Amino acid sequence: MAIAGKGGSVYIGANKVAEISQWSIDCEADDIDVTSFDSNGWKEFIAGLKEWSGSFEGNLNPNDTNGQVALINAWLNGTTVNLELRIDATKKLSGSALVKPSIEMPVDDKGSISFDFQGTGQLTVTLT
């Protein structure tokens, strides 16, 4: 069953990041080649190290001190944040991440902010 994205949100710790309109996450794992003479002409692989990264974006809100401003400060200080990417009230992906902000202020449109993130350590997936 498909679900609408309108229930999504981004949190750092217990604080919702204001005015975010979309997020995405990429989960990867290294493929380690274990092919040998015994592989009968076929390459064989095992899973290696995993990693996760992604981005989120929305309207710029410089008054969001516990969300957008806190994320910028984490980047300035080189510290990680406890990031939660929520699908809805109970389903989420979470973990510790480094963030990198980007602000856009066009003359003919609204100000926007985006963050790229790199997970550090395990990603916790809660889909129930």
Q: What is the pLDDT of residues 94-105, one digit of tens each?
A: 999 999 999 999
User: For residue 106, how many C-alpha atoms fall within 13 Å in the half-sphere facing its CB?
Assistant: 6
Instruction: Give CA–CA dist 86/61, Å, rounded.
Output: 20
Looking at the predicted structure, is the pLDDT value of residue 117 above 90? yes
Sign of the CA dihedral 100, 10, 79, 127? negative
Structure tokens given for 44: 């064989």
Dihedral of the alpha carbons of 72, 77, 78, 80, in degrees to the nearest 10: -70
What's the pLDDT tens digit per position in 58-67? 999 999 999 9
Q: Do 121 and 63 meet the contact criterion of CB atoms below 8 Å apart?
A: no
**In the block, residue with structure tokens 């979470």:** 94
Boundaries of domain holding 72? 5-126
Task: Please give the structure tokens belonging to residue 81.
Answer: 């944040």
Number of domains in the chain: 1
| Contact of 15 with 74, CB cutoff 8 Å | no
Asked if residue 78 lies in contact with residue 97, where contact means CB atoms within 8 angstroms, the answer is no
Q: How high is the pLDDT of residue 75?
A: 99
Query: What is the tens place of the pLDDT at every residue in 21-50?
Result: 999 999 999 999 999 999 999 999 999 999
Q: Answer yes or no: is pLDDT of 122 > 90.
A: yes
What CATH number corresponds to the domain at position 45?
2.30.110.20
pLDDT band at 128 (very low <50, low <70, confident <90, very high): confident
